[in-house]
Copies of this chain bind each other. A is one copy, B any other.
Amino acid sequence: MKGFFMLAALFLAAGSGRADEGMWTIDRLPLEQLSQRYAFTPDPEWIEKVKSASVRFNDGGSGAFVSPRGLVLTNHHVARGQLQKLSGEKTDYVKNGFFARRPSEELPCPDLELNVLVSTEDVTARVRAAAAGASESERNARRKAELARVEKECFDKTKLRCDVVEFYRGGQYQLYRYKKYTDVRLVMAPEARAAAFGGDYDNFVYPRHELDLAFFRVYEEGKPVESPAYFKWSAGGAKEGELVFVAGHPWATQRLLTVRQLEYQRDQYLPAYLVRRAARIRALEAYSARGPEAGRRAYAKLSGFANGLKAVTGYLQGIKSPEVMAVKKADEEALRAAVAARPELAAAGAWEAIAAATDKKSARFKDLTYRSADDSQLAGFAQQIVRWAAEVEKPNESRYEEFRDSNLDSMRLKLFSRAPVYPDLEEVLLALDFQESLDQLGPDHPYVKAALGGKTPAVRARELISGTRLAEPDFRKKLVSGGRKAAAASEDPLIVWARGVEPLYREMRKWREDEIESVESLEGGRIARARLAVLGAAAYPDATATLRLSYGKVAGYEEGTTKVPYKTNFYGLYARAESFDNQPPFDLSPLEAERKDDVGLATPLDFVTTNDVIGGNSGSPVINRRGEYVGLVFDLNVPALVWNFAYTEAQARTVAVHSAGVLEGLRKIYRMYSLADELAAP
């Protein structure tokens, strides 16, 4: 990774205007840097449009309104979960694509929730005041209760989705109010191969040749919603060197972690994650080998797991680089020196406190990590139902946050989803989780005893999955509506199982909240406020699945001894397929192959920019100064995976589908003329 040699200089210059770094919140845009570097100052309407036309996929992922009739564009891989849920043995929309040629053919998604940001409000003072003066053991509970109150008040008043989000690892609290949409219909998705040409090999790779896109339409009261805020399509796209923006919802970054926390990531968390992912991939591959239908059922999950494995491999490689760690250490030392010299920064002792909490977490790593049965959807349902019954009886501010009143609707959408569940796949996943718990914790661990009941993982998983009725949505609904009594009385084997492991879960969660999260949040907040005091406007918070704007330019780069171009084209797609003799995963999709002669081969297909993104930005719009849609973010390249920890610009790039490529694909390959016309309407 040649790029790392540039890192020290770039990172330390963060915010100084020398690098296209930063995932900026919409209320705190880096206007000075933009003006200095690109002579551009967005006006309030521009900012308002970015806010109102950007869409958050509540399961993770981003998108944007691209027409005034509620049309939302995102990635195929963001849509993959819904495509899988809408498919069956005879109708594989994941593999074959889906094409609604008239409004009546648009397919309602079973459990897709989209959010559009309405407003934000800084509530830091209120949250801090609530915890002030409390004993150390009570501070965290008071903080959480206050968050619940803020959300509840907001929800009662506005009926919007109201989330208080922690920024800067505890340094700031913001109330985010979202318009929530749950009647979302699938309009179009290309074939999986066109959306993921080259499969796992070409994932995180550039040059790239993908139409990783999917269209949804948002409905309200049975009609397409009016979306006056949308990005007008740019048929020509962006030129080399042009300033572009990415508006999206990056999930999480680890840039503000302390060195001790980074070491934990490097030495414990990420390596264990990789081992677990690899085991899940092996299990799903073995399952897929049972036959085409098994392969279809496992595809979306398997693709997601493979994506995670490759991404985290890159994260780990990044943080293992001595150069990155050296920069992190120097950065921390500089801040600690400032804190030591200026008592008013009030962060003395914070690093030590976080290090002590991390040591605790590290010492209990296995116990915290290997109790999960969440890979099985049915086991997850069972635990949610048992927990729901206990939680909703409590006052709102005392509940686990996911059971606060303001969150229950979103939870119902998933819990009562009519999407199919496949028992054979469930059994494989549950057995895998059980086996891992047994291997890692040993047969005498209380969780293992409770979860397995003395049986082997395979036997236990089979009896639980074959005996449960939780695959029926109505059965789940009935259990939830029956409240604590129904949950307590149920003899469904998975519910019985969930009741058995619940006390252990509650013990562990309490310990983690009190001993770890509390320290990370409160002490992290002190560090964050010191950092803000030192860096001022140059600081941006770690990603938190909230709307972020990053700026950058369209730019190729050098690799080895040669140049990598800023864009690809359809020539390149056919070149790569042909150069592998059209062998999977480098085979063309059926329609790409069939309609090859129709395609304008020189049309740009994908392109790269220096915009700062991370997982969750998938589906983000790339827009130009005029607020026009020029690209669809779907990836970052391998050298950019270090962005999880630190931004570097030499070779790291965001990868997007070109707006001209989208139109060409729609018109020439998929013959979705009216959809293309809706995009390209003047």
Q: How many A residues touch the partner, as a band?
A: 20 to 34
Q: Mark A562-574, 1 if CB is under 8 A from B, else 0.
A: 1101111101101
Contact among B563, B565, B574, B576 for A565, CB-based, below 8 A: B576
Q: With A204-B561, A561-B310 in contact, is A574–B576 under 8 Å at CB?
A: no
Query: Would you call A340 an interface residue if the criterion is a C-beta within 8 Å of the partner chain's C-beta atoms?
Result: no
Select the stretch in A138-146, A167-175, A182-190, A578-586 that faces chain B: A578-586
Provide the residues of chain B in CB contact with A638, threshold 8 Å.
Answer: 560-561
Complex formed: what's the CA distance from A563 to B586 in Å? 10
Interface residues of A in 585-626 (CB under 8 A from B): 586, 601-602
Q: With A568-B575, A579-B568 in contact, is A562–B205 under 8 Å at CB?
A: yes
Query: Would you call A524 an interface residue if the criterion is a C-beta within 8 Å of the partner chain's C-beta atoms?
Result: no
Q: With A560-B205, A561-B205 in contact, is A579–B569 under 8 Å at CB?
A: yes
Query: Would you call A97 an interface residue if the criterion is a C-beta within 8 Å of the partner chain's C-beta atoms?
Result: no
Query: Would you call A202 an interface residue if the criterion is a C-beta within 8 Å of the partner chain's C-beta atoms?
Result: yes
Provide the residues of chain B in CB contact with A580, threshold 8 Å.
Answer: 556, 563, 565
| CB-based contact B601/A562 at 8 Å | no
Provide the residues of chain B in CB contact with A602, threshold 8 Å.
Answer: 574, 578
Provide the residues of chain B in CB contact with A574, threshold 8 Å.
Answer: 571, 601-602
Query: Would you call A240 an interface residue if the criterion is a C-beta within 8 Å of the partner chain's C-beta atoms?
Result: yes
| CB-based contact B561/A571 at 8 Å | no
Query: Would you call A661 an interface residue if the criterion is a C-beta within 8 Å of the partner chain's C-beta atoms?
Result: no
Which residue of B has the minimal Cβ distance to A577? Answer: B571
Provide the residues of chain B in CB contact with A201, threshold 8 Å.
Answer: 561-563
Which residue of B has the minimal Cβ distance to A570? Answer: B575
| CB-based contact A572/B575 at 8 Å | yes
| CB-based contact B562/A202 at 8 Å | yes
Complex formed: what's the CA distance from A569 to B572 in Å? 10
Complex formed: what's the CA distance from A144 to B312 in Å? 64
Complex formed: what's the CA distance from A26 to B508 in Å? 74
Provide the residues of chain B in CB contact with A581, threshold 8 Å.
Answer: 240
Query: Would you call A631 an interface residue if the criterion is a C-beta within 8 Å of the partner chain's C-beta atoms?
Result: no
Q: Mark A200-211, 1 if CB is under 8 A from B, else 0.
A: 011111010000
Rounded to whole Å, the gap between the CB of A198 and the closest CB of chain B is 7
| CB-based contact A579/B560 at 8 Å | no
Complex formed: what's the CA distance from A601 to B571 in Å? 9
Rounded to whole Å, the gap between the CB of A311 and the closest CB of chain B is 11
Q: With A561-B205, A638-B561 in contact, is A575–B579 under 8 Å at CB?
A: no
| CB-based contact A579/B204 at 8 Å | no
Rounded to whole Å, the gap between the CB of A307 and the closest CB of chain B is 12
Provide the residues of chain B in CB contact with A566, threshold 8 Å.
Answer: 579
Provide the residues of chain B in CB contact with A601, threshold 8 Å.
Answer: 571, 574-575, 578, 601
Provide the residues of chain B in CB contact with A567, threshold 8 Å.
Answer: 579
Provide the residues of chain B in CB contact with A202, threshold 8 Å.
Answer: 562
Which residue of B has the minimal Cβ distance to A585? Answer: B563
Complex formed: what's the CA distance from A680 to B560 in Å? 38
Q: Mark A443-481, 1 if CB is under 8 A from B, else 0.
A: 000000000000000000000000000000000000000
Most chain B beta carbons < 10 A, residue from A203, A563, A601: A563
Complex formed: what's the CA distance from A556 to B581 in Å? 12
| CB-based contact B578/A569 at 8 Å | yes
| CB-based contact A569/B575 at 8 Å | yes
Interface residues of A in 517-565 (CB under 8 A from B): 556, 560-563, 565
Rounded to whole Å, the gap between the CB of A296 and the closest CB of chain B is 25
Interface set of A (CB-CB < 8 Å, partner B): 198, 201-205, 207, 240, 310, 556, 560-563, 565-569, 571-572, 574-576, 578-581, 586, 601-602, 638
Task: Pick 11 A–B contacts, CB within 8 A, sort by A.
Answer: A203-B561, A205-B560, A207-B579, A560-B638, A563-B586, A565-B580, A568-B579, A571-B575, A574-B601, A575-B601, A578-B602
Q: Which 7 A-B pairs have the closest CB atoms?
A: A571-B575, A565-B579, A572-B575, A201-B562, A571-B574, A205-B562, A575-B575
**A203-B561, A572-B579 known; 12 other A-B pairs, CB under 8 Å?**
A204-B561, A310-B561, A556-B580, A560-B638, A565-B579, A569-B579, A571-B571, A571-B572, A572-B575, A574-B601, A575-B601, A601-B601
